[in-house]
């Protein structure tokens, strides 16, 4: 194998190992970038200034507003109890059946409606914990159930106001509903497969005697952690759903930008649920401050990883790797899928990896003669595959919230968020090849 490609592979492994050790992306990305720079004998400072920083800055410039309004919307739904209201209503409708898949449905609907995935983690976990306790199901499935809804069909389905759709739309000039028919079919297949898998695993663990109270788990929850929270005065379900519906209508029906549609959702949620925040304007300012701070952290962590990608894409190894993949005599859409998946895996981020891939290869993708709508959807789906390798920050965060280890919970995360999305690609690509 080409030495330059080996260097990149080593860099990716180093990136993954250090991320797994929970080293901050703000340190990790520049550190591994310098490793790559030194291995390729490039000028350190010049490369950081002319490759690393421009890539990171360009990502912030393009997508800051998307992160910002999304974080504001998420903060409102967290602190007003609107997200919890939706979750509890759906759980009641399910009559405590299909608990793990229902959690996936709840998180998916919230995410598809514009609520930040990281906000969903914190809101849904206490609800999921009580639902699993009541159904006497193992806690090991909670992380997969929560994150599968956040990072799969809700992010890549046509019409989703997700950052993946935004990146593809910005680079290709496509719409959020690009390749609607094959995208819809693929999303339905993905949803069904995840639903079936989670229910199968719940029954499997129950049959094996792995129940809620499992002494084999490394961390045992305390009585306080297991205590059900007191009944809250939550917003009405209909009121809670109106801002989400407004976002989707404006975004898809009236073709508003992601930023414009979500901002309208922020305004609607603020008006409809103003009295839900005790303390009036002063406390609402605190809610907005929290959302703004969250958006800054989220986009900076992602952009800094894109900066690493900016360094990588300017190396001989990246050029050689892409050339080797192109020489495999594979279809253009498979090439797009592989390229985006590799970048997402390297970054440990779907949006970060997709940003890197489209920055480096957009012209290559377009030149292959494939309709931009198909490139859009394949890129969005592929970004949500290898991004979920063990070093992904989102999964590390969620496992910490759930007090579970990779050994205990990662297998089902990998199946629902790597294997099944890959299967989804194999559903979409043939449909796209048929011209649907």
**Residue, of 246 and 352, whose pLDDT is higher:** 246
pLDDT at 140: 97
Mean residue pLDDT across the chain: 92
pLDDT, one tens digit per residue, over 363-404 is 999 999 999 999 999 999 999 999 998 878 788 889 989 999
pLDDT at 122: 85
pLDDT at 231: 61
pLDDT at 403: 92
pLDDT, mean of residues 154-172: 95
| Degrees to nearest 5, angle at CA 368 with 349 and 310 | 35
Question: Which DSSP string corresponds to 329-380?
Answer: ---HHHHHHHHHHHHHHHHT-HHHHHHHHHHHHHHHHHHTT--HHHHHHHHH
pLDDT band at residue 356 under the 50/70/90 scheme: confident
pLDDT at 154: 96
* Per-residue pLDDT at 350 exceeds 70: yes
Percent of the chain with pLDDT strictly greater than 90: 69
pLDDT, mean of residues 87-103: 90
Q: How many residues are there in the chain?
A: 436
pLDDT at 230: 64
pLDDT at 191: 98
pLDDT band at residue 119 under the 50/70/90 scheme: confident
Question: Whole-angstrom Cα distance, residue 160 to residue 178?
Answer: 11
Residue 369 region by backbone torsions, left for phi larger than 0, else alpha for psi between -120 and 50, else beta: left
pLDDT at 24: 78
Q: Rounded to two decimals, what is the model's pTM?
A: 0.90
Question: Whole-angstrom Cα distance, residue 65 to residue 50?
Answer: 24
CB 354 within 8 A of CB 309: no
The token pair that represents 357 in the structure block: 């891939």
In 3D space, the residue among 121, 119, 186 whose CA is nearest the CA of residue 152 turns out to be: 186
Question: Whole-angstrom Cα distance, residue 32 to residue 43?
Answer: 15
* Per-residue pLDDT at 430 exceeds 80: yes
* Per-residue pLDDT at 22 exceeds 70: no
As a dihedral over the C-alpha atoms of residue 256, residue 262, residue 268, residue 274, rounded to 10 degrees, the angle is -160
Q: Which single residue is written with the structure tokens 């989707």?
A: 248
Domain segments of the chain as ranges? 3-433
Query: Which has the minimum average pLDDT: 126-135, 181-190, 389-398?
Result: 389-398
Query: Which has the minimum average pLDDT: 147-156, 176-185, 271-280, 292-301?
Result: 292-301
* Per-residue pLDDT at 347 exceeds 70: yes
Q: How far is CA 74 from the centre of its chain?
A: 14
pLDDT at 277: 93
* Per-residue pLDDT at 229 exceeds 70: no
pLDDT band at residue 47 under the 50/70/90 scheme: very high
Query: Which has the minimum average pLDDT: 73-82, 198-207, 294-303, 397-406?
Result: 294-303
Question: 186-220 burial string, b = 16+ CB within 10 Å, else e?
Answer: bbebbbebbbebbbebbeebeeeebebeeeebeee
The token pair that represents 157 in the structure block: 């389905």
pLDDT band at residue 275 under the 50/70/90 scheme: very high
pLDDT band at residue 95 under the 50/70/90 scheme: confident
* Per-residue pLDDT at 96 exceeds 80: no
* Per-residue pLDDT at 21 exceeds 80: no
Question: Which DSSP string corresponds to 122-183?
Answer: HHHHHHHHHHHHHHT--GGGHHHHHHHHHHSHHHHSTT---HHHHHHHHHH---TTTTHHHH
pLDDT, mean of residues 124-141: 94
pLDDT band at residue 424 under the 50/70/90 scheme: very high
């Amino acid at each position: 194998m080409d030495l330059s490609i080996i260097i990149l592979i080593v860099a990716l492994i180093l990136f993954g190992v250090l991320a797994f050790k929970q080293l901050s992306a703000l340190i990790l990305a520049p550190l591994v970038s310098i490793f790559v720079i030194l291995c390729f004998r490039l000028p350190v400072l010049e490369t950081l200034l002319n490759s690393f920083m421009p890539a990171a800055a360009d990502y912030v410039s393009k997508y800051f507003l998307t992160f910002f309004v999304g974080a504001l919307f998420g903060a409102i739904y967290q602190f007003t109890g609107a997200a919890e209201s939706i979750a509890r209503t759906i759980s009641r409708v399910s009559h405590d059946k299909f608990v793990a898949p229902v959690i996936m449905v709840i998180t998916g609907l919230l995410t598809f409606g514009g609520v930040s995935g990281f906000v969903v983690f914190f809101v849904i976990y206490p609800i999921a914990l009580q639902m699993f306790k009541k159904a006497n199901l193992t806690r090991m499935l909670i992380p997969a159930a929560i994150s599968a809804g956040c990072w799969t069909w809700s992010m890549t389905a046509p019409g989703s106001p997700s950052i993946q759709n935004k990146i593809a739309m910005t680079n290709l000039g496509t719409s959020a509903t690009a390749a609607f028919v094959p995208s819809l079919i693929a999303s339905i297949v993905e949803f069904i497969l995840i639903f079936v898998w989670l229910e199968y695993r719940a029954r499997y663990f129950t049959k094996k005697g792995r129940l809620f109270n499992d002494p084999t788990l490394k961390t045992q929850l305390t009585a306080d952690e297991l205590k059900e929270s007191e009944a809250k005065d939550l917003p009405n379900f209909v009121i809670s759903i109106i801002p989400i519906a407004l976002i989707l209508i404006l975004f898809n029906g009236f073709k508003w930008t992601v930023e414009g549609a979500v901002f309208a959702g922020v305004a609607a949620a603020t008006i409809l649920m103003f009295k839900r925040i005790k303390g009036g304007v002063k406390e609402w300012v605190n809610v907005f401050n929290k959302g703004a701070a969250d958006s800054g952290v989220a986009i900076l962590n992602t952009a800094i990883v894109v900066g690493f990608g900016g360094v990588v894409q300017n190396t001989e190894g990246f050029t050689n790797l892409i050339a080797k993949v192109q020489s495999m005599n594979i279809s253009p859409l498979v090439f797009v899928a592989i390229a985006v998946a590799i970048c997402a895996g390297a970054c440990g981020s779907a949006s970060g990896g997709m940003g890197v891939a489209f920055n480096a290869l957009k012209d290559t993708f377009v030149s292959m003669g494939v309709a931009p709508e198909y490139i859009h959807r394949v890129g969005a789906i592929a970004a949500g595959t290898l991004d979920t390798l063990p070093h992904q920050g989102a999964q590390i965060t969620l496992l910490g919230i759930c007090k579970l280890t990779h050994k205990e919970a990662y297998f089902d995360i990998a199946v629902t968020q790597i294997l099944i999305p890959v299967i989804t690609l194999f559903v979409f690509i043939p449909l796209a090849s048929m011209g649907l």
